[in-house]
Every structure is written in C-alpha cells, then in structure tokens.
C-alpha cells in the first residue's frame, strides 16, 4: 500500500449521506467519482483504509465562501482557495454503515487558532458546504484499516484519534510533507 502513496486526486465535492455532520459531528468533503483525476488510475483502484494528507478547496474564483448555507445560517467558511488543510481521509465502504459504494471522504482540519477549528458538536472543524467546489487532495500516509464499530460513539472516538494522528504526522518536517503541501497549493 505504501508503494502507492502519495495518491494525488483532483475532483469536485459532491453530496454524501450527510452522516459525517449529522451523526458524528465530523463533516467531510465527499469526492466525486465522476469528475476525478487520480495519480493511480480510477476511483475503484483507490485502496481502502483511513489515511492522512493535505487538501484545498477552490471556490470558483471567489475569495471568500461566506453568505448563507442551505439552512439559512451564516457560513463561516472563510476558504480562500489558498489555504492547505491537513486532512483525515476515509477511502472505502464505511463498514459501520454497510455502504455498498466506495467513497472518498476527507475531513478538513483547520489550525488550532482558526475560529472554526472546534465548532462542531464533537469539537472538530466545521466549515459550511463545499458542494460543487473543486477539491485538490494528496493522500500522504496510511493510518489504519477501515473497521466496523459497535455504535457511533466508538466510531467518533476512532475518527477523533485519526484526526490527532493526522495533525501530528502533517507537522513533521520532511521532504514528502513539503512536496505534497506544495503540490496541493499549486493545483
């Protein structure tokens, strides 16, 4: 698996099942399988598991993605398209939910001082919706296999640990991290 890493993906954000936000308090930017370019081939060739990496959302020429979201609430995205975020990424079938279709679901993690860093119901990063926006994603490292969990509380705790691990690994000062952050920033 490490032979395939990093995996570089450019796609757009599409609607998922909504469970990351609603059930877990850990929203994800679901990657479209139809509008995807990938360094290792097709969407179906992506290896399943939980990973970490870097991501950037490009908001079609706008410098700020504020305004109101679909619920009429003010968005606090403040996504300029120039920010590269650390991300914890699920690639697979979400065995706790028994999905039949493979998904790629990065959770973008804001810096600890960002106003949205601890805004979700579980204390994780909460931006507004990114639907139809371009996403640039580098999957840098493997964290663990995707596993079924007995209940949403155990799943949420595992994801929070994945987020901690992703933050720790993304801060390491090495050539791969620098190269992948740069690739995400430039694409």
Active site residue ranges: 105
Sole residue written with tokens 């598991």: 49
Q: Where are the beta strands (DSSP E) in 27-180?
A: 30-31, 37-38, 49-58, 85-92, 103-109, 134-144
Cα angle: 102, vertex 15, 2; to 5 degrees: 35
Cα angle: 153, vertex 122, 13; to 5 degrees: 100
* Burial (0-12, 13-18, 19+ Cβ within 10 Å), 166: buried
Q: Is residue 89 within 8 Å of 53, Cβ to Cβ?
A: yes
108-118 per-residue burial string, b: 16 or more CB within 10 A, e: under 16: bbbeeebebee
């Amino acid at each position: 698996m490490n032979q395939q890493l990093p995996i570089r993906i450019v796609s757009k954000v599409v609607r998922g099942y909504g469970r990351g936000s609603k059930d877990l308090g850990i929203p994800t930017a679901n990657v479209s399988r139809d509008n995807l370019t990938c360094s290792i081939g097709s969407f179906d060739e992506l290896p399943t598991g939980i990973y970490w990496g870097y991501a950037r959302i490009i908001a079609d020429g706008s410098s700020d993605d504020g305004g109101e979201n679909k619920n009429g609430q003010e968005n606090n995205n403040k996504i300029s398209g120039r920010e590269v975020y650390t991300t914890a990424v699920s690639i697979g079938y979400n065995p706790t939910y028994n999905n039949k279709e493979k998904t790629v679901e990065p959770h973008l993690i804001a810096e600890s001082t960002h106003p949205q860093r601890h805004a979700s119901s579980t204390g994780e990063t909460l931006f507004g919706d990114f639907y139809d926006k371009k996403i640039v994603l580098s999957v840098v490292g493997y964290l663990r296999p995707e596993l079924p969990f007995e209940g949403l509380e155990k799943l949420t705790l595992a994801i929070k640990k994945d987020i901690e691990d992703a933050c720790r690994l993304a801060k390491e000062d090495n050539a791969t991290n620098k190269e992948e952050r740069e690739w995400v920033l430039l694409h």
